[in-house]
Amino acid sequence: MENCSAVLKLLLIITCVHLSSSGRHSLQYLYTAAGRFIAVSLVDEEQVVSYDSKIGKMIPRTEWMKKIEDDDPLYWKSETQHMTDQHERIRVFVHRAKQIFNHTKDHIVLKMYGCELDDDNTTGGYDQYSYDGEDFINLNLTTGTWTADNDKAKSFINDWDPKGTEAKHWKDFLETNCIDQLKKFVSQGRESLERKVVPEVSVLHKHYPSPEVVCHATGFFPKALNITWQKDGEDVHEDVELRETLPNQDESFQKRIILKVPAEELQKHTYTCVVQHSSLEKELVREVPKGGRSAGVRIAIITPVVAALIGLFAGIVVWKNKNSGERRKEADVKFSENRFTLSNS
């Protein structure tokens, strides 16, 4: 539990916004190792599978992925074995890092890899490791070699993968197996992955610890959504806090934006929340009501346990988004929270 708390604390330091592009599909794998090994797989930014070393099995997280499980039990047996192999690879990685850097306690390793398929059949891939929250090593998909920005990480590469065996394995996986898997998933889940659900938007007042108004959008799909505040028709950027996109239990998403504004300002001016989403023909506008009333629909409650797990994996995605530009440059690719829910078993 102590390790999980450390991971959560580290990952929540950074905030970032990421919007997916249309006409492109992606398959992503995110691993975290801090004593306990946890993994998630995402298709088009939506979590479809999770794995926890404490449970030791793959858990499908969408209805269409559950259908694959029903139709092809051998596939799930194979995938569980694959995840067991990945756990062992990560353990070797951590063990070598501890030896090389003379570390006695477990340190936090994050691994992010995946592939992308554009609508013109252009493909790309990436593989990155983070050590204690900092960029560590990356796979250059063009050359099939590991790269690093500092001598410490370079010395690790020379010791951990002197012959480039791991680099070759991941280059081959990203260019073949990963793309084949992505095509299978998109074909199986197309109806769900390409659906569009209109967001429900509400505005409410908060008075403690400081006067705030909250605009909350929920129930929308796909994940990409833009939400802003306006004052008398003009965009407001100061005293605005944009929260991470979070998953709902029905595979939709929710997002909120908070504006700190004195009560007297709310009476003098018209404040509106503006939401843009691919499911909407035009932007959706909600006005902050006068006199402290709230307008719109209910706001969903996320339990502390679920919030902690969401935060944990949202942090991994944050690290991924933070480095997406550098990743594409290294891999020479023109491409670039999810339903992060884990079993408490």
**Residues 11-23: tens digit of each pLDDT:** 333 223 233 445 6
Sign of CA dihedral 20, 245, 280, 271: negative
Pairing of strands 246-247, 234-236: unpaired
What does the pLDDT look like over 49-98, one tens digit per residue?
999 998 888 888 888 988 877 777 788 888 888 899 999 999 999 988 88
User: Could you write out the DSSP letters of every residue in 54-103?
Assistant: TTTEEEE-SHHHHHHHHH-HHHHHHHHHHHHHHHHHHHHHHHHHHHHTT-
pLDDT band of residue 303 (cuts 50, 70, 90) is: very low
CA distance 50 to 61: 7
pLDDT band of residue 321 (cuts 50, 70, 90) is: low
pLDDT over 60 (residue 28): yes
Assigned token pair, 106:
């477990």
Kindly indicate whether the domain formed by 200-292 is annotated with CATH number 2.60.40.10: yes
Q: Are 210 and 325 a contacting pair, CB within 8 Å? A: no
Domain edges within the chain: 2-194+304-331, 200-292
Name the CATH superfamily for 2-194+304-331.
Answer: MHC class I-like antigen recognition-like (3.30.500.10)
pLDDT for residue 320: 53
Q: Are 119 and 127 a contacting pair, CB within 8 Å? A: no
pLDDT over 60 (residue 124): yes
What does the pLDDT look like over 202-256, one tens digit per residue?
999 877 667 899 999 999 998 999 999 999 999 999 999 999 999 888 889 999 9
